[in-house]
Amino acid sequence: MMTLTDDQRMLADSVAPFMAEEGAIRAQLRHWRDIGCRDGFGHGLWKQFAELGLTGILIPETQGGAGLGMVEAGVVLEEVGRNLTPSPFLTTAVAAVRALEGSAQAERWFPGIMAGETVAALAVDEGKHHDPARVALEAKRSGNGFTLNGTKQFVVHGASADIILVAARTAGAAGEREGLTLFAVERGMAGLGVDNAALVDSSKAAHLTFDQVTVDADAIVGEVDHGWAPLSRALNAGRAGAAAELVGVASGASAMSLDYLRQRKQFGKLIGEYQALQHRAAHLYGEIEIARAAALKAAQLLDAGDPRAELMVSVAKAKAARVAALAVQEGVQMHGGIGMTDEHDIGLYMKREAVLGNLFGSATFHAGEVARISGY
Amino acid sequence: MTADLEHFRADTRAWLEANCPAEMRQPMRSEKDACWGGRNFTFQSPAQKQWLDVMAGRGWTVPDWPREYGGGGLSAAETKILKEEMAAIGARPPLTSFGISMLGPALLKFGTESQKKHYLGQIARGEIRWCQGYSEPGAGSDLAGLQTKAEDAGDHYVVNGQKVWTSYADEADWIFCLVRTSTESKHGGISFLLFDMESPGVSTRPILLISGNSPFCETFFDDVKVPKDQVVGEVNKGWDVAKYLLGHEREMISGMGLGGERKALGAAVGPIEDPLLRAEIATFDVDALAFAAMSERFIDQLKAGESHPAFPSVMKYAGTELNKRRHELIMAAGGSDALEWDSERSNKGKAPRDWLRTKANSIEGGTSEIQLGIVAKHILRLPGA
């Protein structure tokens, strides 16, 4: 069934006002941006996420979490997107938890994540485009552990993270899925260089340099040379989550634009009376509904362990990115001059879409995945 | 409950296995393989007739209609199982009919008891083939501006006027028709009439389309007598019936965007050497597979009573625009092979004829622009919409 259960609806009803008040643009995004915060998010809010049980949303009940799934995480992320709430929820509570689950590392990190004290990051991309199979960062056996050499970029929250999940190559050649290994690298390791970059949306992502960084064998998540399994679990959860957040971004931008169409007068008429704008708003409404359905379907298939999940995750990520891009572009255009000002929030939606649209693979990357998975 | 459904599934599977003729499990080659039923229908094979008869015998041509009106009396869950089991063996629909998809739901909601008993049973058994008399030369998007008039002549109406885009009027037995019974109000002067196409004064003329086919007609009424008990709903309140029926029509047309399956187009058109075309098709597949998810959600929301009444307009708009794009891409992938019009090699120009046909998708049943207007007004509640 592609309708929400009563429990899922209750979750949405409780998260929506929290995000709209505590996670509001003025309280969080603008605040941390304007004071030049190193993290780009507030640790106090992350603690509040924990108090609401959100940080452990995907962590099994046996390990103290809520034991819920991607549908529920998506419900939260849609509200995060709607309010542009900055937090490590997607990278830490969704992607990293999915990578760590079932591994020896889980017991070590899950309590901190549930407490809202630990931030985790995912280090995959090495060039300006996402392509996980092309990972080349080298991990060589040395003594009881491995030595890592190479670079990563677009590591969201990389400078704030207590633990960075690093995809490295232990065998094979760039382009192959086999031969990858996932390492949990703690902050402050010798040889680990962190260049914290502010992104267009005021979030932070790091460039990392690994210069003879030595880790123990127990830093391995999953199995040596078979890191694709935990990595793709993390990426698919991250992608489905990003799709849900993009739906929220699109909905938030669209709601703001519709309000404007109902208020702004030109030529003696509300601009929402003009058919040229009505039809574009109606088209956008339908597109957002399609993206929402795709994101929900992807989350449901992931939760069910369905083999079609990989395809639908790429469909959802590509569709949600395209639709959110349409929503923010229409948003700024429909707002006219005021939409170009920093004072107005609509432009912040455009900036967030740019980052989320690229995170864990752009719309074109995922359209390519749809073709590849479908066999053409 | 679940155990009952599993029982139902097992019984249904066994019954279909025993009763669906092998020939009726072959994919339909064209629209011509559909069984339309009706007084003048020529069955393509004994198997086609047999399949209709056995299914109608169980009420499974209209599985979710009540039994007393010729239906199967199945619950929504059972109907879904029946459809799944039919799909699993590739069973063709036993009957394709505007009576099932359009008139029937309207009669179930607005018809009198005797109308339901009489007409619904005929529809369920495939005895009467219906056509739809809505559009007129001067009333297309502005449907309520229709002028065909029905004058009260005591115990009957006298109908005069013209309809256009009447699908298969030349093959249909009866028509459900919007007529003007009052000029005092535009929307409040319309009535919903049923009458026999063999009535004196009815004539039809097929319209040759750009696809080279003629699925539509012009239909003329010249002093056609219609008994008064053939009005559905109240006199002058036919617009309510019409709108309800259009909602069903929009759902049906929007479903065409799926092409009956949810496989990627890129996998269906064969090897694509042009990387730019491959990219365009992949972009289309993202949109099509996402739309399939919305179709699934829409059906679930309908069942749960959570769907906005204007949502069929969203489905119709998105589904038809997608179907047009699908056929643009099929033409692009087909290259010069897809330009041949009547060769055997090209299956008598199936690709270009289908492509041209899809251009009507965003016109018939309310244009894309009309649908967007409905969304702007009823869902977004924009001012002056």
Residues of B in contact with A376 (CB under 8 A): 264, 266-267, 271-272, 278, 281
Buried-state track B346-355, b at ≥16 Cβ within 10 A, e below 16: beebebbbbb
Q: How far is B231 from chain A (nearest CA, A)?
A: 36
Q: How confident is the model at residue B252 (pLDDT cuts 50, 70, 90)?
A: low
Cβ pair B70, B120 in contact under 8 A: yes
Q: How far apart are CA B313 and CA A121, in angstroms?
A: 43
Residue type, B125: R
Cβ pair A121, A164 in contact under 8 A: yes
Q: Which of B285, B297, B385 sits opposite A2 (nearest CB)?
A: B297
Q: Which of A3, A272, A371 sits opposite B383 (nearest CB)?
A: A272
Q: How far is A224 from chain B (nearest CA, A)?
A: 34
Cβ pair B254, B199 in contact under 8 A: no
Structure tokens given for A133: 């199979």
Q: How far apart are CA A229 and CA B60, in angstroms?
A: 47
Beta carbons within 8 Å of A209's beta carbon, 6+ residues apart: A150, A151, A192, A193, A195
Q: How confident is the model at residue B255 (pLDDT cuts 50, 70, 90)?
A: low
Of residues B320, B312, B308, the one with CA closest to residue B368: B320
**Ramachandran angles phi, psi of A169, nearest 5°:** -100, 120
Query: Cα B127 from chain centroid?
Result: 18
What pLDDT, on a 0 to 100 scale, did the predictor assign at position B1?
59
Q: Which CATH architecture has domain B2-124?
A: Orthogonal Bundle (1.10)
Delineate the domains of chain A, giving CATH numbers in brackets: 6-118 (1.10.540.10), 122-228 (2.40.110.10), 231-374 (1.20.140.10)
Residue ranges of chain A whose CB lies within 8 Å of a chain B CB: 1-3, 258, 261-262, 269-270, 272-273, 275, 278-279, 281-283, 285-287, 289-291, 293-294, 296-297, 311-312, 314-316, 318-319, 322, 363-364, 366-368, 370-371, 374-376
Label residue B161 left, alpha or beta by phi (over 0 means left) and psi (-120 to 50 means alpha): left
Query: Cα A260 from chain centroid?
Result: 29
**Homologous superfamily in CATH for domain B241-379:** Butyryl-CoA Dehydrogenase, subunit A, domain 3 (1.20.140.10)
Q: How far is A73 from chain B (nearest CA, A)?
A: 19
Cβ pair A348, A271 in contact under 8 A: no
N residues, chain A:
376
**Ramachandran angles phi, psi of A138, nearest 5°:** -95, 135
pLDDT tens sequence across B25-64: 998 877 778 999 999 899 999 999 999 999 999 999 999 9
Q: How far is A253 from chain B (nearest CA, A)?
A: 14
Q: Which of A2, A315, A376 sits opposite B289 (nearest CB)?
A: A315
Active site residue B198: no
N residues, chain B:
385
Q: How far is A319 from chain B (nearest CA, A)?
A: 6
Residues of B in contact with A374 (CB under 8 A): 263-264, 266-267, 285
- pLDDT tens-place values along chain A, 376 residues long: 899 999 999 999 999 999 999 999 999 999 999 999 999 999 999 999 999 999 999 999 999 999 999 999 999 999 999 999 999 999 999 999 999 999 999 999 999 999 999 999 999 999 999 999 999 999 999 999 999 999 999 999 999 999 999 999 999 999 999 999 999 999 999 999 999 999 999 999 999 999 999 999 999 999 999 999 999 999 999 999 999 999 999 999 999 999 999 999 999 999 999 999 999 999 999 999 999 999 999 999 999 999 999 999 999 999 999 999 999 999 999 999 999 999 999 999 999 999 999 999 999 999 999 999 999 9
Residue in B249, B251, B280, B321 annotated catalytic:
B249
Q: Which of A278, A315, A322 sits opposite B382 (nearest CB)?
A: A278
**Ramachandran angles phi, psi of B122, nearest 5°:** -60, -40
- Looking at the predicted structure, is the pLDDT value of residue B260 above 80? no
CB–CB of A374 and B285 under 8 A? yes
- Best mutation target among A270, A326, A370 (most B Cβ atoms within 10 Å) is A370
Domain B130-236 has CATH 3.40.718.10: no
CB–CB of B382 and A318 under 8 A? no
Angle between helix A275-304 and A70-83 (nearest 10): 150
Q: Which residues on adjacent β-strands are paired with residue A182?
A: A167, A221
Determine contact: B296 vs chain A, CB below 8 A: yes
Q: Which chain A residue shows the shortest CA-CA distance from B385?
A: A273
Q: How far apart are CA B254 and CA B365, in angstroms?
A: 10
pLDDT tens sequence across B142-174: 999 999 999 999 999 999 999 999 999 999 999
Q: How far is B287 from chain A (nearest CA, A)?
A: 7
Q: A-B interface: how many C-beta pairs under 8 angstroms?
A: 137
Q: How confident is the model at residue B12 (pLDDT cuts 50, 70, 90)?
A: very high
State the DSSP H helix or E strand holding residue A18, giving kind and residue range, or none if neither: helix A6-21
DSSP A23: T
CB–CB of B382 and A258 under 8 A? yes
Where does A264-345 have alpha helices with state H? 275-304, 309-335
pLDDT tens sequence across B261-292: 468 999 999 889 999 999 999 999 999 999 99
Q: Which chain A residue shows the shortest CA-CA distance from B264?
A: A374
3 state SS of B246: helix
Q: Which residues on adjacent β-strands are paired with residue A210?
A: A150, A192
Structure tokens given for A68: 């819920």
Structure tokens given for B52: 């209709």
Q: Which of A279, A281, A286 sits opposite B314 (nearest CB)?
A: A286
Q: How far apart are CA B345 and CA A89, in angstroms?
A: 57
CB–CB of A262 and B282 under 8 A? no
The domains of chain B are located at 2-124, 130-236, 241-379
CB–CB of A285 and B375 under 8 A? yes
Q: Which of A3, A269, A281 sits opposite B380 (nearest CB)?
A: A281
Q: How confident is the model at residue B259 (pLDDT cuts 50, 70, 90)?
A: very low
- Looking at the predicted structure, is the pLDDT value of residue B258 above 70? no
CB–CB of A296 and B376 under 8 A? no
